[in-house]
Amino acid sequence: MDRALGACPPPYAAVYFDCDSTLSAMEGVDELLDFADPTLRAEIAALTDRAMNGTLPLAEVYESRLRALAPRKEQLDVVGARYVDELVPHAREVVQALQWLGKHVGVVSGGLLPPVRHVARALGIDDGHVHAVPLVFDAAGAYVDFDRRSPLWRNGGKVDVLRALPAAHHPLAFVGDGVTDLETAPVAGRFVGFGGVVARDAVRRGAKHFVTVPDLAAVLPHVLSPDELARLGAEPRFAPLLPAAGR
């Protein structure tokens, strides 16, 4: 089997993460609801939940949701700051540890690119390794549209993004909480379901590797080899991650 595709054990050349409810303990769309008309909030929140749990195709939700919310550029900067405020425990340290081990670290998210970049930059992840949905604004910062060329606004989009990554990023591990993350299992060397913020039943059932600890360090035993874990344990900066990883 091509080690870039399908299940294979660590070590991996790269580890990629979803953003919402994985790197950050919040959902960006939920934060955008704070700017919405109250009559829209319950309807949009319900649609988002159905999409994340796989009971409604993502593409059916994406366009109508953005059209209704029409987020302004400055609102997305607020959401990005909130993302960073809500980083899951040890997110920064886990990213630093993976990079110290020589791995490419990136983000593949169906979220909106401007706030997702806030998270990536706070974690020290290169912009070139961040994949989310770009938006188009007018000169006054008003929402015009989203970039429909991005595959990430529909189901299967994350699979397309992973397949298009450079060969040097394979084999890779992918970590995420939602059904669109679970879709990457056939093309990632390993998919790890992260239930530390929201434990989704469909992901728990479908993932061979699933963690419920609300700490990103809990994914390390699933994405690192025993030798790599031992190297972290011998490095004073990262040794404190291992007790959390063992929970």
pLDDT given at position 3: 42
Q: Cis link prior to 171 (omega < 30° from 0)? A: yes
Residues in the chain, total? 247
pLDDT given at position 35: 84
Residues forming a β-bridge with 119: none
pLDDT interval class at 26 (50, 70, 90): very high
The span from the CA of 210 to the CA of 82, in Å, is 26
pLDDT interval class at 40 (50, 70, 90): confident
Reported in sequence order, the residue ranges of 80-171 that DSSP labels E, i.e. its strands, are 104-112, 130-133, 135-137, 143-146
Q: What mean pLDDT comes out for the span 109-138?
A: 97
Q: Cis link prior to 186 (omega < 30° from 0)? A: no
Roughly what angle, to the nearest 10 degrees, separates helices 91-100 and 113-123?
A: 70
216, 97 in Cβ contact below 8 A?
A: no
Residue 216 has pLDDT above 80, yes or no: yes
Residues forming a β-bridge with 131: 108
Least confident of 6-15, 105-114, 189-198, 200-209: 6-15
52, 99 in Cβ contact below 8 A?
A: no
With pLDDT > 90 as the criterion, what percentage of the chain qualifies?
Answer: 76
Largest CA distance in the chain: 55
pLDDT interval class at 186 (50, 70, 90): very high
Q: What mean pLDDT comes out for the span 20-36?
A: 88
Mode of pairing for the β-strands spanning 172-176 and 14-17 = parallel
* Model pLDDT for residues 128-177, shown as the tens digit of each residue: 999 999 999 999 999 999 999 999 999 999 999 999 999 999 999 999 99
* Model pLDDT for residues 222-232, shown as the tens digit of each residue: 999 999 999 99
The span from the CA of 53 to the CA of 22, in Å, is 15
Angle at 86 between CA 131 and CA 60, to 5 degrees: 45
Residue 108 has pLDDT above 70, yes or no: yes
3-state DSSP assignment of residue 109: strand
pLDDT interval class at 1 (50, 70, 90): very low
Phi-psi region at 156: left, alpha or beta (left = phi > 0; alpha = psi -120 to 50): left
pLDDT given at position 175: 98
Class of domain 14-245: alpha beta
Count of C-beta atoms within a 10 Å radius of residue 145? 12
Angle at 169 between CA 245 and CA 193, to 5 degrees: 40
pLDDT interval class at 247 (50, 70, 90): low
With pLDDT > 70 as the criterion, what percentage of the chain qualifies?
Answer: 96
